[in-house]
Amino acid sequence: MSPAGYVFLSVILFVIGGVGVLIRRNMILVFMSIELMLNACNLAFVSFARLHGNLNGQVVAFFVMVVAAAEVVVGLAILMAIYRARRSASVDDASLLKN
């Protein structure tokens, strides 16, 4: 399988993740979609690293993983806090900042 196939796969994964973020109401699922988008990016980085024959993309992919891990920790903590306060995991209910 040529490296270009991995790039196409990453694009498909990114679009699935993006659509998931936009249309799903459940916070957990939105969160998972974000993770999917991040991993699609990682896949693209690694593919490009392979294509160009250097390690820069792979290094960035590692950084993204580390940052994503931290983001998951903080994000899930916020999620838990919101769920405890409101008994709801819907993103549309958390719209207090409007107007």
Partner 1 sequence: MTTLAATGVLRYSWLLLAFPVFGAAVLLIGGRRTDRWGHLLGVLMSLASFVYGVIAFVTLIGYAAPDRSRDLHMYSWIPVAGFQANIGILLDPLSVCFVLLITGVGSLILIYAVGYMAHDTDRRRFFGYMNLFIVAMLLLVLSDNYVGLYAGWEGVGLASYLLIGFWQFKPTAAAAAKKAFVANRVGDAGLSLAIMLMFAEFGSVSFTGVFSSVHSGGSGVASALGLLLLLGACGKSAQVPLQSWLLDAMEGPTPVSALIHAATMVTAGVYLIVRSSPIFNAGPTAQLAVTVVGAVTLLFGAIIGCAKDDIKKALAGSTMSQIGYMTLAAGLGPAGYAFAIAHLLAHGFFKAGLFLGAGSVMHGMDDEVDMRRYGGLRKLLPVTYVTFGLGYLAIIGIPPFSGFFTKDGIIDAAWEKGGTSGWVLAACAIIGAGITAFYMSRVMLMTYFGPKRWEENGVLGGAGAHPAYKEPHVPHPHESPLVMTVPMILLAIGSVAAGGFLIINSRLVDFLAPVVGVPPTSHGIWTGPGIIALVLSLIGIGIAWVMYGRVPAPVIAPHGSVLTHAARADLYGDAFNESVLMRPGQWLTRLSVYFDSRGVDGLVNGLAATIGGTSGRMRRLQNGFVRSYALSMLIGAVLLVAGLLVVRL
Which positions lie near partner 1, rule CB under 8 A?
A: 18, 21-23, 25, 30, 91-92, 94-99
- At closest approach, how far in Å is the CB of 91 from partner 1? 5
- At closest approach, how far in Å is the CB of 53 from partner 1? 23
Encode the chain in three state secondary structure: CCHHHHHHHHHHHHHHHHHHHHHCCEHHHHHHHHHHHHHHHHHHHHHHHHHHCCCHHHHHHHHHHHHHHHHHHHHHHHHHHHHHHHCCCECCCCCCCCC
Identity of the residue, 58 or 94, whose beta carbon is nearer to partner 1 in the bound complex: 94
Identity of the residue, 62 or 83, whose beta carbon is nearer to partner 1 in the bound complex: 83
Identity of the residue, 73 or 96, whose beta carbon is nearer to partner 1 in the bound complex: 96
- At closest approach, how far in Å is the CB of 14 from partner 1? 11
- At closest approach, how far in Å is the CB of 99 from partner 1? 6
Given a contact cutoff of 8 angstroms between Cβ atoms, the answer to whether 14 and 41 are in contact is: yes
